[in-house]
Structure 1
Amino acid sequence: MTEEEMSSQVILRLLPRARCMFDEPVQVMVSGLRARQVVTMRARSTDEKGVEFSSSATYKADGNGEINLERDPSLSGSYVGVEPMGLLWSMRADVLHKRFQKNKSLNPHVVKFSVHEEEGEGRMLAEATNERLVMGDGVSRRPVKEGNIRGVLFTPPGGGPFPAVLDLYTFGGGLSEKRASLLASRGFVVLTVALYGHDDMARNITEVHLDYFEEAIEFLRKQDKVGSRGVGVISLSKSADLALSVASYLPDVEATVWINGCCANTLLPLYYKRSQIHPGLMFDGSKMIPTESGAFNCKYATHNPLAEENKATLIPIEQAKGRFLFVASEDDLNWDSKTSVDIMVERLKRHGKQNFESVCNPGAGHYLEPPYGPYCPSSFHGVVGKPVLWGGEPRSHAAAEVHLWKKIQEFFTTHLGCDAAQTEAKL
């Protein structure tokens, strides 16, 4: 048998199918290799900014010339050991400090998987394309430009009723649709909003107004297919302290997911009905630690919110009527999220409250996202004006994302009860 004939029989399969949701695992299988043949498996993808991300791992076929990533360990490469989705989460850019950008929902995350010979140039033996959809079939996407609100509304297919969630994704201006559209694909009506820098909004802001989120919640509750009594709020990083304020000062917030944030209002003063309700907790640039990669460790740069002069920044979460899910990564290097959770838990307990649960992830970093995207060790931080370390050990971080994504959906489903009668009344 010639070499060409041999390689033409190598088959790379993605099961159960090559087209799936972004947050679903795929089983990667190779057949038609020689018994115990050692090959290199690769994955590559280009993000929305045109940056290429890739990973590779060495595998050894079994006696039948087959490799199954659910069973077989990687011997070397971007990761080692049995990691069924390792080729996805270990993808890295070949330039430093790049975060994988997948913010738009209409185009899938396209990943090319391939099998290569170990020797020489590593001739390709087989390849397959994985289309990872960010928006499920039948989900509707509607840009929202109503009153002050600038965002995108995602609605699941079917009549509902569905629980409603406000997604405060980012503080970097603009919009990210990925988490919102994936949640909508799992049965939630989700509105993701921009705070600044999007569409006709100001490029920069010097204060935040709670009234904006109040308007967004009212808009969300009016949607035909919404059946939950109140809304859920999901947040990450700076937006997590905004979520605490939304839950503490505004009505109709039943469930709040706080991911790797602060227990105090940070950076910008917060206003409601034209009055300032909290100053911003600032950070000390001299406490940012430079590292060899050129990225800074900012974990302990934020001022202490418990210090007497900063107490006005602390958010009175004991006023919140709804429930909290606090999620902290112990290796968050953006700030000390774990200490913020400890402060919030102590505060709620002191006020006799039990309306919270918390999850701590020992080996995870700051950016906890929907699962199976490339892990990001460091990237440019708009507020700091430099690249920063996000923390986390890639494998533990990837596992935390899988666990958290399931937890978020369970939390919202449990605490955002749906009432068919309420939906009927709207229709």
Structure 2
Amino acid sequence: MRRVLVVLAVLVLVATGCSGPGEVRVDVGPEVVVADEVTHVKVTGLGGGDRVEVVAEATDRAGKNWRASASYEADDVGVVDLDRAAPVGGSYGGVDGMGLFWAMNPPDGDPDQQFYLPEVNGEGPHAVVRISVRDGAKTLATATQTRRWATDGVTDRALTLAKDQVVGGLFLPKPDGKRHPAVLLLGGSEGGMSQALTAALLASHGFPALTVAYFGAPGLPKALKEIPLEYFRTAASILASQPGVDRAHVVAFGPSRGAEAALLIAENFPTLIHGAILYAPSAKVVAGFPDYLTSAWTLHGEPLATDDLIPVDRVSGPVLTVAGTADGIWPSAPAAQLIVTELDAAENPYPHKALVYPGAGHNVGTYPYMPQGTRVYEPAADHTAYLGGDRPTNAAAQADAWPKVLALLRNL
């Protein structure tokens, strides 16, 4: 009769492996890693064919304990390697070494309307992952790993309207005496400064990053309505002036409405913005939000006409578009391809490419391995929006696209 073992994996922000009673051991790799790094979970010391359940848990910023679990059978030598073993049941299916990370659910509420936000302490945002091997109620082995968004040496500074004429967060990597490509990040229709975690992560990879709010924050418009594109020019100038920034390679980055804004400023300020990374983009100018009878953007004090195709003939850097065919918000996959087609037609000399993922939704980005729902409540519009896709497909798209984003930046 098979003995049933339980491997308990808890997502937290500290990583060490320690063997439990007997011969069973679980290893998760380094104690501390960057939040987008792959973790290789391996259980050894089992009997051949033993069934193992792996349970992942992590406490979020609100104090909720997120959890995922899956059952596995040990191979002939008593090993369960999550990079190679498909679960026989549980929170995700198929071979995916990071499946337990993105498949976690909160203890209450609709998981498809919730998003994991990491805890924050003096070392910045982090998630702690604890992995335990158990036989029933008995713990046989444990391991923990800390996943950090801002690594040692990364600094951050808040930008204010009063001092800087923009609201944002500036994240700078540890100085190394060199100049590096930099990224200006713009959030979407959620408003506020929603891309701070992505900015911190980019700085951890060595890229200076500035994320800005352009509505839905104190001192800014309450809605996405007639936002001056010159506001982003001011932010880009601040970023370009940092000592570790290569001014010739400041890239605009945004998901959804932020992608629309990123493409607009790449086109209109080509001496300052040199290319764009666009997640779930629109190829056209979209109306304001939630008031669709207004214009979202202005340039030189004049509203931009809604539904006009965004020109790309002046874009002075590489463009990467990322989209899913099951986007529930707008047709971002055709838009992603159209942007690249327009760049071809304009004979743009810089690299440009569309990454289109079948079955992925609006949440096709950005960094991978964090659990995200497929629906979101939008207070401004007073409704729940279906973002499209499903969590496994979105997670696979994020895991594939994110390294390509980092490679684009490294190759500038």
Please say whether Structure 1 and Structure 2 have the same fold, judged by a TM-score greater than 0.5.
Answer: yes
Equivalent of residue 206 in structure 1, options 209, 213, 225? 225
Q: Which residue of structure 1 lines up, in the alignment, with residue 275 of structure 2? A: 255
Q: In the TM superposition, what are the counterparts of 1:14-29 in structure 2 within 5 Å?
A: 14-29=27-42
Alignment of 1:107-256 (within 5 A): 107-117=125-135, 124-145=139-160, 146-157=163-174, 158-175=176-193, 176-250=195-269, 251-256=271-276
CA drift at 1:34: 3.9
Contact 2:323 2:332 in 1 (8 A): yes
**CA shift digits 1:312-347 (9 cap, x unpaired):** x32222232333111121122221101212332343
Q: Could you give the per-residue CA deviations for residues 233-292 of structure 1, whole angstroms, max 9, x where no partner exists?
A: 11101111101110111132112001102112223221123222x144xxxxxxxxxxxx
Q: Partner amino acid for 1:23?
A: D
Which deviations, in whole Å up to 9, do the C-alpha atoms of 1:63-110 show, x marking residues without a partner? 443322122221110112321111101112342111223496812122
1:406-417 mapped onto 2 (5 Å cutoff): 406-415=403-412
Which one of 82, 93, 100 corresponds to residue 116 of structure 2?
Answer: 100
Quote the residue 2:14 is aligned against: none
The 1:382/1:244 distance shift into structure 2, 3 A limit, reads farther
Q: Secondary structure at the match of 1:33?
A: coil
Tell me the amino acid that sits aligned with residue 302 of structure 2: S
Alignment of 1:43-122 (within 5 A): 43-93=56-106, 94-96=108-110, 97-102=113-118, 106-117=124-135
Structure 1 residues 12 and 234: alpha-carbon distance in aligned structure 2, compared to 1, 3 A threshold:
farther
Aligned residues of 1:12 and 1:28 also touching (Cα < 8 A): no
Q: 2:368 aligns with which of 371, 376, 382?
A: 371
Deviation for aligned residue 1:190? 0.6
1:333 aligns with 2:328: yes
338-347 or 237-246: bigger deviation: 338-347
Which residues of structure 1 form unaligned runs of 5+? 281-309, 416-427
Q: 1:122 to 1:149 in 2, by over 3 A?
A: same
State the distance in 2 between where 1:263 and 1:103 align: 36
Gap change, CA 1:386 and 1:102, over 3 Å in 2: farther
State the distance in 1 between where 2:353 and 2:320 align.
5
How far apart, CA to CA, are the structure 1 residues paired with 2:52 and 2:335? 46
Number of positions where the alignment pairs a residue of Structure 1 with one of Structure 2? 377
- Three-state SS of the structure 1 residue aligned to 2:188 is coil
| Alpha-carbon spacing, 1:323–1:7, altered in 2? closer, same or farther (3 Å) | closer
5 Å matches for 1:398-409? 398-409=395-406
User: AA paired with 2:181?
Assistant: P
User: Per-residue displacement from partner, 1:353-378 (whole Å, max 9, x unpaired)?
Assistant: 45422111113221112011114222
Name 2:9's counterpart in structure 1.
none
* % identical aligned pairs: 29
**Match for 2:202: what amino acid?**
L
Distance 2:353 2:200 in 1: 25
Pair 230,19 (structure 1): closer, same or farther in 2 beyond 3 Å:
closer
In the alignment, structure 1 residue 271 sits paired with structure 2 residue 298: yes
What SS is found at the alignment partner of 2:388?
Answer: coil
SS of 2:359's partner is: coil
In the superposition, relative to structure 1, how do residues 10 and 55 fare at CA in structure 2: closer, same or farther (>3 Å)?
Answer: farther
Deviations 1:35-88 (A, max 9, x none): 422121100112223343211000122344332212222111011232111110
| Pairing of 1:32-43 with structure 2 (within 5 A) | 32-43=45-56
| Mapped contact 2:173–2:203 kept (Cα < 8 A) | yes
Conserved 8 A contact 1:23-1:370: yes
TM-score, normalising length from structure 2? 0.84
- The answer on whether the counterparts of 1:255 and 1:323 sit within 8 Å (CA) in structure 2 is yes
1:315 aligns with 2:310: yes
Q: Distance in 2 between matches of 1:318 and 1:163?
A: 22
One-letter amino acid matched to 2:98: M
SS in 2 for 1:107: strand
C-alpha distance 320-227 of structure 1, shift in aligned 2 (>3 A): closer
Relative to structure 1, the CA distance from residue 199 to residue 47 in structure 2 (aligned partners, 3 Å threshold; closer, same or farther) is farther
1:147 partner letter: D
Aligned to 1:344: 339
CA distance in 1, matches of 2:316, 2:119: 32
Q: Distance in 1 between matches of 2:119 and 2:55?
A: 24
- TM-score, normalised to structure 1's length? 0.81
Instruction: Note if contact 2:155-2:172 (Cα within 8 Å) is conserved in structure 1.
Output: yes
Aligned to 1:380: 377
Secondary structure of the residue aligned to 1:240 is helix
Aligned partners of 1:42 and 1:115 also within 8 Å = no
Return 135-144 or 344-353, whichever deviates more. Answer: 344-353
